Each structure stands twice: as C-alpha cells, then as structure tokens.
Structure 1
C-alpha cells in the first residue's frame, strides 16, 4: 500500500459505531457495589423507558486515537475493517470528515460492521460489544509511518496480530505504542509477547496492569517494573481520579489530573484520549514530562461531552488550557508524591 508521504501516526485496531442509550436514573435501574465491584441492575422482563440515544460513528480505541492525533496536528491514518453496509459507509465518511486517511480501511463484502451499545447511567457506562469475524489481513504501508498506535482487536484476530508483529520486527525504525484493548488484556501476555517486547510505549490502566502482570494492585512501582520486564522502554499506568504513573526504567513519575471544570458527563474515551495524546506529544518531539502534562488535559475535555471524540482538543486549545493550569500541575517523582 503506497502513500504519498509517511504518516506521522498509523492507528491499528477495530472500529465501531456506538449507540449510546441514556438510561433514566430511577428505581427501575439501579447501581450497587459488592466485593466484585460496581454493578448496574435492571429488572428482568421489564419494559424500561430511556431518556434518549445517540449514534457515534467511527468509534473505538484506535479510531479515537486517530482523531485525537489528527486534531493535534499529526498526519494520521487508521488501519481497520468494516462491512459493506450503511454502517461501514458512515464510519468511512466520519473518519474522512475528521481528516483521518482511510486508505487502509478494509471493506468486507457480505459482512456487517461492528456496532456496540453503550448504556449510560449518569457519568458511568456499560458497553454491549460484538466483534465480527473479519478475514483480517495486514496491508503493509509504504512508506512506513513514523509511529504505529496499536490497540483493541477482536478475539478472532490472532493471526492478524502475528502479521503486524512480524512487520514491526522487520521495520525497526517504526516507533510502536501499544494500548491493549479489553480482549487483548484478557488474552494474557503470551499471544502478544512479541508486541510488548517491540513496543516503545505501553499504556494501560491500573486494573489492566494487574491482570497483565499478575502484580499487586497496591504496589504501583512493582506494576511498572513488571511491565518493563515485558520489554517496553516506557510504561504508563492510568489510575482514574488518582492520576497516572509513568516509568522509563530509571525514573518513576506521578502525574495529577487536570482539574474538571464541571462534574464529568460521561467517561467513554477518557483512557483513549490520555494514551493517544501522550503518544502524539512524543510524536511531535516533546519530552515524557511534557507528554504527561498534555494527556490529562484531553481526558478532562473528553469527559465533559458525550462520546469519545467530541471533546478532543486541537493543539491551540490544549496549549491554552496548559497555560491556565493551576500551580503544581506537573509530574513529580513517585517517591516524592504526597500521600
């Protein structure tokens, strides 16, 4: 696959249309917490009214990353798969509206595109997912991109992941960032060991780091070290309201959140915004410390809107918000973090 010039960032992963359904917060739909965590409960067999719904075409980890990088001024493409249907057509059109190159968007005849349903309950969401079994095949970009951002794929994509890993092994000048999706985290390290070893940057949340490494949730330095043992030079672990942690193997840093101007509206895409903005900063030549300052700003903005892309910021607006950041908004060495 030839392009006129190398992309700055090629994002790789499944693309979906999300239908976000806003549930009514009343006695018919409740949340509760037990030893296994928070739960959303609805009475079986009931007819439950809902407040409304909204479709979001071209969603998913990789597409969110592609839009984020494009808005931050990088030449960006998405390698993904859709069916030959109206949903796939809308996905392609939406990516093109965002300025994301769709040269590597593969269209599969007689198949449906991925369509997920997001149950919104306040700022939290529960997602019903189905990944279609596409005949995945890697189309090697020529010239190679400067960065590849690799993320969520279906459980049917094992051979495809091996193809990508093989191509990355042959193109050592391409810098790799890996943000594993839910199914990739559940699959464990072994199917993706070569990807972890090849990655320059790995980003995941704290719970995912525990699942991937088998480490102790309470031992953040240990989780960072265990992720380094898999091979990546730079590891980042996000921790929701407690900020994020990063390590280059020599120094471990903690980064606070950028303050929310209002309570979050919805948290879909916050992690994608953090990971892609961190990588975009590096792709633009910024330092790790600067990338850590950039990433929470976009996460903050995303949770103020419904959907994973509406709040993604252009570079000028991100820089304005950074200029207005409160005192102390900066990464600090992990041992120096105040309890």
Structure 2
C-alpha cells in the first residue's frame, strides 16, 4: 500500500541565476509591481544555469519519500528527453513510477526560471494532455496538484475513487484550475481533507480578486466550501491553518532566500507529513515552515527538501517560533 499518491504534471525547469539586472517598479492598483529589464539584442552573463525535473506532484512525492513515506506519482510526459530524466530522479528518490505514462508524438511541459535577488520570473510552456486516471493500488492519501487543460474527467473520477476507497485527499489547485473558478472545482474542494492555497489563490476561490475581504473572513469562507482543513501561505507574513476551531498563524522560519521555486510545495509537504504522523495543526505548520525555509535557501524545488531527522533538527533550532491565534 502507498501512503501517498500524487497526481499532476511533471516538467523540466531550467534555472538561470542572474548576477545583474535592472528592476523597474511602480504602483499598479495600489500594489507594487516590478519589471525585470534586460538589454535587448545582447549577450547576458549568468551566474548559474541548472535544469531540474519539477512540478508540484513530483516535488511533493520526492519530499514525502524523504520524510519516510511510501509514495507514487501519476503523471504524463512527452516522448522527449524529460521522460528518462524524470524516471531517473524518481528511482533515486524511491518514488514508485509505475503510473508514469509517456505519450508518443507529444512533448513535455517546460519552464525557464530566471532568478534575480531571490525572486523568480518564470517563462512557462504547458503542453496539453488528455488526462486519464489509472487503476491505482491501495493508498491512504492522494495529493492533487497543478494540471493543464482537459483535467475535468480525471477530477470526476478521482472524487469517486477517493470516496469509494475511504481515502483522504489533499488539494493544491494550479493556475488553470483556478481560472475555472470555485463552482467548477466545488466537487473536489468538498471532498478535500486539506486544501493548500496562497493568499491570492484563496481570493480567486471566493471570487474576490480585489483582495477586499479580511483574512479571517477569507479563510472561513474557504472552509465553508467543504475542506476539513484550510492551509493558507502568505509569503513573508507566514502561514495560517483552520479546521473549524481557532485560526492559527505561524511566522516563517528564518532563511536567506536564494530562489523561491517550490516554496509552496515544500510547505505543503511538511504540513502533510506531520498530519500523516498524527501531529496537531499547529505542529503541522511548523513542519511546513521548516521544510520551506530549507528549500528557498538553494536553487530549485527539490535539493533543499528535508529528511525527517533534519526536520526535527530545524524544529529544535527554532523551538521559540510557535503558533498564535489570529
């Protein structure tokens, strides 16, 4: 039996770290917006250049494997160089790849991630696939993450499977799913045990793109859509969790950001691992914060993912950082 099966896209991310660039910033609708400016038609020196297999599903599967769980992944790839790279990573990280499907005459999704001063600018190409849910061996938890278009049939089948098997579902909707709105996602959200979103995504799910409601109202409105637990991350302001009792808030663990890709996935991994180990939601937030602080300190979403021993060390080091009631 698998402890966790993740479902989502696998892609190839190429990380480019810029030593120098120009930022042009201004206020747009009350928010500070910056543009990364590079000289057109010239050669730009880079500090680092590194391709990595990525995507929320693989990031979480790898992270949970390092934390001691039996994991598998359901994903589709094009018949290109990304497929053997993905298989090699999954094998090395002890993630069951039996549900990995390589599609002939199709290409894998990919991104170029430009990093400057710890922040990323992503150039992404999402390849459309017709998603299909295979017959899965027994599992305890399922983690559903970002996908491209034509995901609807898989989502319907997935909700039916989770209910029929009495398994638990964690859900982190991707950009394309969020574009469809809360009504389209309602059956999945209602069946979800733990919903992971950042603040902007939360506003999209309650149809409030102008950020015009307070955080407490935002979280409770999300919870009323059906999930057992809401986990909301808000960058440097920390994270929040709500299961119908008090709304808990945790400040981030100290970190020196190098590259932010995978911050949300690593937080979700830590939180979910702690929950599967039977921890309360306050301690789950601390596990998430420990994992995220490690991941953003290096380039890419997986190199900084912690083992259970390293999480315990980080928790001891930052024992003074505990949850507070909002």
Task: Bin the TM-score by the shorter chain.
Answer: over 0.9
Q: Report the alpha carbon displacement of residue 183 of structure 1 after superposing the two structures with TM.
A: 1.9
Secondary structure at the counterpart of residue 250 of structure 1 = coil
Name the structure 2 match of 1:105: 100
Q: Report the alpha carbon displacement of residue 157 of structure 1 after superposing the two structures with TM.
A: 2.0
Q: Distance in 1 between matches of 2:170 and 2:271?
A: 10
Name the structure 2 match of 1:323: 316
Q: Report the alpha carbon displacement of residue 255 of structure 1 after superposing the two structures with TM.
A: 1.1
| Structure 1 counterpart of 2:186, from 184, 193, 202 | 193
TM-score of the superposition, structure 1-length normalised?
0.90
Name the structure 2 match of 1:250: 245
TM-align CA RMSD: 1.6
Q: Distance in 1 between matches of 2:325 and 2:6?
A: 31
Q: Report the alpha carbon displacement of residue 217 of structure 1 after superposing the two structures with TM.
A: 5.1
Name the structure 1 match of 2:163: 169
Name the structure 2 match of 1:61: 56
Q: Report the alpha carbon displacement of residue 279 of structure 1 after superposing the two structures with TM.
A: 0.7
Secondary structure at the counterpart of residue 103 of structure 1 = strand
Query: How many residues are treated as equivalent by the alignment?
Result: 321
Give unmatched runs, 5+ long, in structure 1: 1-5, 335-339
Whether 1:308 aligns to 2:304 is no
Q: Distance in 1 between matches of 2:126 and 2:154?
A: 14
The equivalences for 1:40-189 within 5 A come to 40-42=35-37, 45-51=40-46, 52-57=48-53, 59-143=54-138, 145-171=139-165, 173-189=166-182
1:19-42 alpha-carbon deviations (Å, 9 max, x no partner): 11223423xx42423215423233
Q: Distance in 1 between matches of 2:261 and 2:173?
A: 16
| Structure 1 counterpart of 2:273, from 277, 280, 286 | 280
Q: Report the alpha carbon displacement of residue 48 of structure 1 after superposing the two structures with TM.
A: 4.2
CA 20–43 in structure 1, closer or farther in 2 if over 3 Å, else same: closer
Bigger drift between 263-272 and 179-188 goes to 179-188
Instruction: Report if the CA contact (8 A) 2:129-2:148 is conserved.
Output: no
Secondary structure at the counterpart of residue 128 of structure 2 = coil
Name the structure 1 match of 2:264: 271
TM-score of the superposition, structure 2-length normalised?
0.94
Instruction: Report if the CA contact (8 A) 2:181-2:207 is conserved.
Output: no
Q: Distance in 2 between matches of 1:294 and 1:150?
A: 20
Q: Distance in 2 between matches of 1:83 and 1:234?
A: 35
Q: Distance in 2 between matches of 1:14 and 1:60?
A: 6
Q: Report the alpha carbon displacement of residue 44 of structure 1 after superposing the two structures with TM.
A: 7.4
Name the structure 2 match of 1:21: 16
Name the structure 2 match of 1:3: none
1:272-293 alpha-carbon deviations (Å, 9 max, x no partner): 1111210111112222121111
Q: Distance in 2 between matches of 1:129 and 1:163?
A: 28
Secondary structure at the counterpart of residue 223 of structure 2 = helix
Give unmatched runs, 5+ long, in structure 2: none
The equivalences for 1:223-242 within 5 A come to 223-242=218-237
Secondary structure at the counterpart of residue 12 of structure 2 = strand
Secondary structure at the counterpart of residue 287 of structure 2 = helix
Q: Distance in 1 between matches of 2:73 and 2:18?
A: 32
Q: Distance in 1 between matches of 2:187 and 2:304?
A: 34
1:64-107 alpha-carbon deviations (Å, 9 max, x no partner): 11111111101111111111222111111111111111011111
Secondary structure at the counterpart of residue 153 of structure 1 = coil
Name the structure 2 match of 1:337: none
